[in-house]
Amino acid sequence: MTLAAFALSPFLEAHEPPEARGLARDDVRLMVASRATGRLEHRRFRDLPTVLEPGDLLVVNTSATLPAAIGVRRAGGSGSARAQLRVATAAPDAAGGDRWVIELRSPDGVAPLRTARAGERLALDGGAGAELLAPYAGGTRLWLARITLPPDAGDLLAHLGRHGQPIRYGYVPSPWPLEAYQTVFARDPGSAEMPSAGRPFTPGLVARLVAAGVLLAPLTLHTGVSSPERHEPPYPEPYVVGAATARTVNAVRGWGGRVIAVGTTVVRALETVARDDGSVREGAGWTDLVVTPERGVRAVDGLITGWHEPEASHLLMLEAIAGPDLLQASYAAAVGAGYLWHEFGDSHLILP
């Protein structure tokens, strides 16, 4: 098996939250992979306080998930003209305005629509409207759109709160409430899709981690829509790394502790503000950083993440942290042991 070509069986896809399978959030499986020894351990996520060491730092993403999918009607006025619009992010050069990066999909959200054209106007549920301006970043899947709202709608996030639903893909056949897509750290609404590496944490587990001497520090990176069909690199996303978090990361690195990112979003944000010596500064803005093995990582020592699809661009980031041999061994073991993929699936902890 190679990471570029391994087959992901439908039997390895998590089709519903673990709670629907009779498990607590922190009862999902956790593979612990050590780069120093090459050892793989099969644990439960609730074991995390016994796996980490006092003085380790978990950096978490406080972005909250939006109900970013909303029904639309395309020109024609018939029922067959229904579609789904997914809001990814505000346009990077027009934050706070009426231009947004969006994706159009089939009414059930299963497949992307490739028939859109510039100038097309859409009627959104709840009385809002959208005009497709141009393909985004030279691609064919995402669009730059101008969205107009009814006078009493407030902003777009408020409108989505009334008329939208969480984004889901074909491997999740039934809808789940927005709460199923929020992490215990969720505070700042803005992610089109859940920063899912943080989902298995519970308040009780966080308390046990703190009692064990593990530190936590927050940052925010709002995720756009993922790209399971074509595995494009991630597009620019907004982030905030505060001064307190920067100081904490630098202090932990100074005393020889390990900085462990909870999710690829955290890696992207921290590495955006990392200096060559591995220290970080506070910062905010939009990041277009793509972490690859050639670039490597500077501030991050380890990573908690889910399991990524074959040829997903995130695998390059994982290889930068784990190295090719450990990553290969982890994925072979995960497939063989029946670990579950996607946002409701199992977890992978990569340690230095």
Strand partners, 58: 216, 260
Pick the most confident of 111-115, 134-138, 212-216.
212-216
Residue 102 contacts by C-beta under 8 Å, 6 or more apart in sequence?
85, 86, 87, 88, 130, 142, 143, 145, 147
Amino acid at 196: S
Q: Residues 83, 123: one domain? A: yes
> Residues 99-106: what's their mean pLDDT?
93
Q: What is the pLDDT of residues 15-36, one digit of tens each?
A: 999 999 999 999 999 999 999 9
Q: Which residue has the tokens 């990814």?
A: 88
| Closest to 323 in 3D by CA, of 343, 297, 285, 289 | 297
Domain termination site, one of 139, 162, 185: 162
Q: Is residue 89 part of a domain?
A: yes
> Residues 273-279: what's their mean pLDDT?
96
Q: Is residue 167 part of a domain?
A: no
Q: What is the pTM of this model?
A: 0.93
pLDDT grade for 1, boundaries at 50, 70 and 90: very low
pLDDT grade for 227, boundaries at 50, 70 and 90: low
pLDDT grade for 79, boundaries at 50, 70 and 90: very low
Tell me 339's DSSP state. Answer: P
Asked whether 80 and 74 are in contact (CB, 8 A), the reply is no
Half-sphere exposure of 230 (CA within 13 A, CB side): 11
Q: Is residue 274 part of a domain?
A: yes
- Coil vs helix vs strand at 93: coil
Q: Residues 134, 27: one domain? A: no
Percent of the chain with pLDDT over 90: 80
* Torsional class of 86: left (φ above 0), alpha (ψ -120 to 50), beta (otherwise): beta
pLDDT of 255: 93
Domain termination site, one of 162, 192, 212: 162
Strand partners, 326: none
Q: Residues 205, 313: one domain? A: yes
Residue-averaged pLDDT of the chain: 92
Q: Residues 287, 150: one domain? A: no
Percent of the chain with pLDDT over 70: 94
264-272 vs 314-322: helix axis angle to the nearest 10? 70
Q: How many domains does the chain fold into? A: 2
- Coil vs helix vs strand at 111: coil
> Residues 119-142: what's their mean pLDDT?
90
Q: Residues 95, 56: one domain? A: no
Full residue range of the structural domain in which residue 23 is found: 10-65+176-351
